[in-house]
Amino acid sequence: MATWAFFALVVFTMLAIFSTDREAGEPVSYTEYLSFVQDGAVKSVLRNNATGEITFELNDDSGTVFSTSGPVTSYEAELALLDEKVPSPDDGTEGGVKFVTPTENALVQLLFFLLPVGLLIGFFVWMQRRAQGQMGGIMSVGRSKAKTYTTERPGTTFDDVAGYAAVKREITEVVDFLKSPERFSEIGARTPKGMLLVGPPGTGKTLIARAVAGEAGVPFMSVTGSDFMEMFVGVGASRVRDLFESARKMGRAIIFIDEIDSIGRKRGAGMGGGHDEREQTLNQMLAEMDGFEASEGIIMMAATNRPDILDPALLRPGRFDRQVVVPLPELEDRKEILAVHLKGKRSEAELDVNVIARGTPGMSGADLANLVNEAALFAVRAGDAKIAMRHFEKARDRVLLGIERTSMVQTEEEVERTAYHEAGHALCAAVQDNHDPVHKVTIIPTGMALGVTMTLPTNDRHSMDKDEAEAMMVMAMGGRVAEALVFNESSSGAANDLQQATNIARRMVTEWGMSEKIGPMSLSDSGPVFLGDDMMQNKAGHSGDTARLIDEEIRRILIEAEDHCRHLLTTYRNGLDLIARALLEHESISGDEVYRLLNLSGANLTLPGNTSLTADAASDADPVDDNSAADADASVSDLETAE
């Protein structure tokens, strides 16, 4: 602060010196000045011997002061003229000629002397303070970077964690131990020293850890795995020691390490050797976890979404001896999570959380929070006062599919091909009992796709049988086969569909044991290759004959799925035309309209949930023939009210 004040004073003084007006009067030329003197019109003259500046005043009593610049050394003619024409004060008049030789201000001289000295002193002070800061940073580099929250923080409890009842029951024992450890010590029971929360990203592992600390009412120390890593060798181990020492001083506390896989990877894997900084940090953590006793009241919690790469010594009993899986929320959990995020937001009374939850399978808690926020943003953009179901529909499409590219220009042929492509997907999904029901079909370009057929499961699926896998492949083939039936050729739009179908067929053969020729064998070579274990091992794998047999089985399954898809589209060709024409007119139709149009073509389908479609036109529909134009036109006109 003093340095800045010194510099400000210097700048102010310099401005004050150089901002003075050097012109003391109205400027005139030196010739005019001599002319005034020659005419005897000059009353007084003041000459600066150092700069040659001349200031003079006339006899007209106007008080105007004139200034000019002459030679630094006065010559004799000018002096004689001044002596003759300018009256002297000795004559009893005011004025006369005066010569001055100004000297420099002592303060200015002192300032110019002290300025370089002050700058030099300020530079050394700045260097000293910077060196002290660096030394302080070096001295504190081994300290833990954990953020400590007192009993008031976090205030999170289990009530703030929606869903996950099974997870809460699993970790209640830790809360009971921290609240009343004497209950466990009296009977001689030992509580887990470490608890590992395992689950996909966004499922709320950190939130659950904070809720445990809030329920137990103990300090909560939070740190991420990357905070232990430093370019200096041994710093990570030093930070681990400092972390546990700080926790011991608190008595009962919870140490939470997020993303522990960054320092807890399997030792000796890969090409890094066994003496790098990460492994030294892990060794120190293993020693610290074995060093403190359960009676000290310190519980370690950690979170990761990659438990398969953790070191076995970290997971053995006595360290992280209990793993709690935090999976993606189920249907009931999603309802509770959505209800929590909808609190404080304006929403319509008829907003059905059950429908929203059923349409969000596989979404984590973070995804659901983002979905609610996107729906609120859509409501604001539309100028609506409350959040409605239509906003959630748009938000889900935005999150799952991407942004609608309404400005994309397509030819009529491309739009028609896309309509039949999506109609093929929708038809194959609707007429198969083992496939999820159709929810929405659109030919509006969305994300990277020219069209989308969205299906919606009635319940959460945790496994897949052979019939369901085959139904998914048939549905994936629907777009390509529909293009071939209508236009007698296929396009590149089916590239992603073929990839999905091939992946399913490959997993049926190599992982799920659904091929009779291959038998009950697992031939999948997927694994944590990045760990480097495969580089140190020679895996036998399977023979070339087996690889050839795998390719033949995958091809057979795909061809059978394509044949079955072609049979369905041929059987319900009228329904294919109806759906395609409806898409061409409305661009987007609902799943209910897909089922209604198929029933108009002669199919006998039921709505999802075993609700029959009781349209009168369904019973009166003509059988499948080539004359479906009239039915198509009638169905498209009926869709206008639905839209």
> What percentage of the chain exceeds 90 in pLDDT?
13
Q: Three-state SS string across 168-233, please? A: HHHHHHHHHHHHCCHHHHHHCCCCCCEEEEECCCCCCHHHHHHHHHHHHCCCEEEEEHHHHCCCCC
Mean pLDDT across 403-418: 80
Tokens for 272?
């890094």
Give yes or no for residue 408 having a pLDDT over 70: yes
Q: How sure is the predictor about 276, in pLDDT bands with cuts at 50, 70 and 90?
A: low
Catalytic residue among 422, 470, 553, 593: 422
What secondary structure does DSSP assign to 479-534, as a single string?
Answer: HHHHHHHHHSS--GGGHHHHHHHHHHHHHHHHTS---TTT-S------S-GGGSHH
Distances (CA, A) of 43 to 37, 76, 105: 9, 20, 30
The verdict on whether 26 is a catalytic residue reads: no
Using DSSP, state whether 357 is helix, strand or coil: helix
What's the pLDDT score for residue 555?
A: 93
Cα–Cα dist 604/610, whole Å = 12
Give yes or no for residue 580 having a pLDDT over 60: yes
Mean pLDDT across 403-432: 86
Contact 329, 163 (CB under 8 A): yes
Domain boundaries, the chain: 2-100, 147-325, 331-400, 412-642
**Residue 615: other Cβ atoms inside 10 A:** 16
Q: What would the CATH number be for the domain defined by 331-400?
A: 1.10.8.60
Cα–Cα dist 548/355, whole Å = 46
User: What CATH topology corresponds to 2-100?
Assistant: 3.30.720
Give yes or no for residue 300 having a pLDDT over 70: yes
Instruction: Summarize pLDDT for 210-232 with one digit per residue, the tens.
Output: 888 777 777 777 787 766 665 44
Instruction: Summarize pLDDT for 22-53 with one digit per residue, the tens.
Output: 445 688 887 787 787 777 777 788 777 777 78
Mean pLDDT across 510-530: 75
What's the pLDDT score for residue 570?
A: 92
> What percentage of the chain exceeds 70 in pLDDT?
74
Q: How sure is the predictor about 138, in pLDDT bands with cuts at 50, 70 and 90?
A: very low
Give yes or no for residue 270 having a pLDDT over 70: no
Q: Which residue has the higher pLDDT, 183 or 72?
A: 183
Maximum mean pLDDT: which of 287-291, 537-541, 553-557, 635-639? 553-557
Q: Which residue has the higher pLDDT, 539 or 61?
A: 61
What is the sign of the dihedral through the CA atoms of 266, 267, 272 and 277? positive
Q: Which residue has the higher pLDDT, 363 or 633?
A: 363
What's the pLDDT score for residue 638?
A: 39
What secondary structure does DSSP assign to 295-337, as a single string?
Answer: GG-EEEEEEES-GGGB-HHHHSTTSS-EEEE-----HHHHHHH
- Indicate the range of 53-62, 92-101, 150-159, 250-259 predicted with least confidence: 150-159
Tokens for 386?
């409350």
Partnered with residue 66 across adjacent β-strands are 26, 56
What is the sign of the dihedral through the CA atoms of 482, 483, 489 and 493? negative
Instruction: Summarize pLDDT for 379-398 with one digit per residue, the tens.
Output: 998 888 889 888 888 888 78
- Indicate the range of 14-18, 136-140, 264-268, 540-544 predicted with least confidence: 136-140
Give yes or no for residue 298 having a pLDDT over 90: no
Location of structure tokens 């299906």: 455
Instruction: Summarize pLDDT for 586-613 with one digit per residue, the tens.
Output: 888 988 899 989 888 877 777 665 333 3
User: For residue 437, what is the DSSP state?
Assistant: P
Contact 436, 464 (CB under 8 A): no
Mean pLDDT across 72-81: 69
User: What CATH topology corresponds to 147-325?
Assistant: Rossmann fold (3.40.50)
Distances (CA, A) of 624 to 421, 556, 601, 614, 628: 20, 30, 6, 19, 8
Give yes or no for residue 88 having a pLDDT over 80: no
For the question of whether the overall pTM of this predicted structure is more than 0.75, the answer is no
Q: How far is CA 459 from the centre of its chain?
A: 30
Q: How sure is the predictor about 331, in pLDDT bands with cuts at 50, 70 and 90?
A: confident
User: What CATH topology corresponds to 412-642?
Assistant: Methane Monooxygenase Hydroxylase; Chain G, domain 1 (1.20.58)
Give yes or no for residue 409 having a pLDDT over 70: yes
Partnered with residue 316 across adjacent β-strands are none
Location of structure tokens 């260097």: 127
Pair type for strands 220-224 and 322-325: unpaired
Q: How sure is the predictor about 361, in pLDDT bands with cuts at 50, 70 and 90?
A: confident
Cα–Cα dist 564/586, whole Å = 29
What's the pLDDT score for residue 291?
A: 56
Pair type for strands 96-100 and 220-224: unpaired
